[in-house]
Structure 1
């Protein structure tokens, strides 16, 4: 449990109140999973962006009121398509005694030998779905790709997670591959409509 986030109760749900709150740097939010009801809240935009930049998948300590502090994760972020500003955010209460499903971001490190030899790098996926206890959830994973040559690919099954983490993404899924420039051009020719 690394980061703390303050929730404030949202008084009303009128459009003008929500827009006013956004202008003042407060983002409308909901929190699921505490009892049966969904809590309508708001969070400080600057505080939230700071957390998302460091680790968007972190389990946060959410302070709902003086009496209620609960572990939560970001479930969904709704952004404005043009400005990219966060419009709304959903949080989910985390039961620390039960396993949870989440995604882990994969960072590719190093320069593949195949790139130096003139190949091109094609990344298919940047994250994998996992199931584990909340305290075992890795924030991200770094994978060294410097050994990949032209024609090589990295599969989900090549990832090595610590014990207690079950990978839900199909093991045969290609994450990254090194192609020749020739292959790239052929693919583009197939995609281009005649």
Structure 2
């Protein structure tokens, strides 16, 4: 998994301070680790947006102005329900020898049988929550759709994990992840309007 550096600034919590930051393109955030004090910080919205909307997950080195760096990953992101802008982010710290739960983007591989018949691949669940050691975490999770037919889905319980023995999918086993949707039927031509003889 790629390691990305991201600058952060310490933040003092004041009334209406978060709203003022957002107006200047800065996102309020927190950094936390089990058993440690939560740290309030702020981060550049544009730099953060590139990570949040990436097709891959990343390990993030948070860099403070004094040169201190801490290793983390994005645990939670809150969006404005109207503008869809990022309004808050949680970063979780971790050590190399501890189990973590991380959301990893889903991708597909293979030429699906259903697509050959005119169907279309639809990813229903765009990220899977994986539990494992940080070194075992992939930057994305590919699901083989080769044998998937139109109208059929691959559920969490059907995803083979033999090649990833150190990882466990934490999502509900009955959750559909990928499906093949049938092609849309073409609209029938409108009936011709009878024209009365003049």
Specify the TM-score bucket, using the shorter chain as the normaliser.
0.7 to 0.9
**Partner in structure 2 of residue 23 of structure 1:** 23
**Partner in structure 2 of residue 189 of structure 1:** none
State the secondary structure of the residue aligned to 1:54.
Answer: coil
Q: 2:169 aligns with which of 167, 174, 182?
A: 167
**Which has the larger Rg?**
2
State the secondary structure of the residue aligned to 1:135.
Answer: helix
- The 3 A distance-change label for structure 1 pair 64 and 33 is farther
**Partner in structure 1 of residue 94 of structure 2:** 94
1:155 matched to 2:175? The reply is: no
TM-score, with structure 1 as normaliser? 0.77
Q: What does 1:1-194 align with in structure 2 at a 5 Å threshold?
A: 2-15=3-16, 17-33=17-33, 36-54=36-54, 57-66=57-66, 68-118=68-118, 123-150=123-150, 152-156=152-156, 157-160=158-161, 161-171=163-173, 173-178=175-180
| Count of aligned positions | 181
Deviation at 1:24, TM superposition (A): 2.0
Task: List structure 1 runs of 4+ shifted beyond 6 angstroms.
Answer: none
**Partner in structure 2 of residue 190 of structure 1:** none
Deviations 1:21-72 (A, max 9, x none): 2222211111111753211110011111122233563221112352531111
Residues 56 and 74, structure 1, Cα contact 8 Å, conserved in 2: no
State the secondary structure of the residue aligned to 2:52.
Answer: helix
Deviation at 1:129, TM superposition (A): 2.2
Deviation at 1:88, TM superposition (A): 1.2
Normalized per residue, the structure richer in helix is 1
Between the aligned partners of 2:62 and 2:24, the Cα distance in structure 1 is: 21
